[in-house]
Amino acid sequence: MINKGSAPRIGFILDFDGTITSKDTISALANFALSFQKSRGRELSGVWDNIITKYSDDYSKHVEKYRPGKEERETLEEEVGFYRSLREIELKSFERVSKSGLFQQIEEQDWKEFGHDAVRTGAVVVRQGFQEFVSVVSGHKLKWGVVSVNFSSHFIKGVLSEDLGAENALLSVLANRSTREGSIIGPELNDDRLCRVLATSDAKLLSMKRLLHHWTGASENENGFSRLIYIGDSGTDIECLTAEGVMGIVVSEDGESDLMKRLKHIGITVVHVDNILRGSQDELYWARNFNEIVGSPLFVSMTKLLDD
């Protein structure tokens, strides 16, 4: 609860791919890197295709063997266990990308400029209402940041600065990075040591906690906010969305995304954001876009409280 007489501390943490953007950006990233290398006399299309094929094969084999199977998993703990079990597969794929040379010699500024260009050309489409969402959050001087399993935090910053303007894009982004040698490494936060490569739901949860500690100095068991909202769209977001003390909002264009179906299957009720603060005790909601989030009772009550 927010104590009367004290300023409410409200924070937002967002996923990037499929949440801020309308769809995953991995293809756009790969196409940029392939064009970059081709301009330097290196044709790596076949190498990238091989990486995708091997990942798909590894994933399919893992899903086939993993127990309990998809239809047998009945609890949040079992579902989280599955997503955590994907770590080895994801890291193998990251290693293949690192060894392929796909990202070699691509500098931080190259990634940022590609982010700018991707928004301008429509290669990356930012989800409807995102600018207004940031305008409301920034206008009330609320904390917000991004936690993502994306290959390049600098690309993310490029996308955000193009869509929002440089001032509003000065935020914390925890995502993987590629070195000039082409290796993918984990995120960093100021002078903190590098954390492991961000690839699965548990790594995202750890990164969220690191970001909260950076913001507030809160311990691992506290988030330091009177209200913390996490917004995400996929299985890698499941632990952040359902973490204790967090209000989770699932982004789903029709309410029937894979994550929505999995949550329903394991018995977790996810109601539309229109129902926030209307008597429902649920802490997990869904929205089609940021317009619906900004127009929800959560935002109406939040801005009223902050303006009083």
Read off the pLDDT of residues 264-306 as tens digits, 9 standing for 90 and up: 999 999 999 998 865 454 579 999 999 999 999 988 887 777 7
Decide if 3 is inside a domain.
Answer: no
Q: What angle do CA 270, 146, 120 make, to 5 degrees?
A: 105
Q: What are phi and psi for residue 10, nearest 5 degrees?
A: -120, 135
Contact 198, 190 (CB under 8 A): no
Domain that holds residue 211: 10-307
The number of distinct structural domains making up the chain is 1
The distance from CA 244 to its chain's CA centroid, rounded to whole angstroms, is 18
Decide if 2 is inside a domain.
Answer: no
Helix H segments across the chain?
26-38, 45-65, 76-85, 87-100, 108-121, 130-139, 153-164, 201-216, 238-241, 258-265, 290-294, 297-307
Contacts of 253 (CB under 8 A, 6+ apart): 288, 289
Average pLDDT for residues 53-57, to the nearest whole number?
Answer: 99
- CA-CA-CA-CA torsion for 99, 102, 107, 111, nearest 10 degrees? -130
Question: Among all chains, which residue has been given the structure tokens 């929505």?
Answer: 260
Task: Reply yes or no: is the peptide bond before residue 8 cis, omega within 30 of 0.
Answer: no
Decide if 188 is inside a domain.
Answer: yes
Decide if 64 is inside a domain.
Answer: yes
User: 228, 225, 147: which is closest to 187 by C-alpha?
Assistant: 147
The CATH code of the domain that includes 277 is 3.40.50.1000
pLDDT in tens, 164-173: 876 665 579 9
What CA–CA distances, in Å, run from 305 to 4, 6, 86, 216?
10, 11, 42, 21
pLDDT in tens, 192-206: 555 689 999 999 999
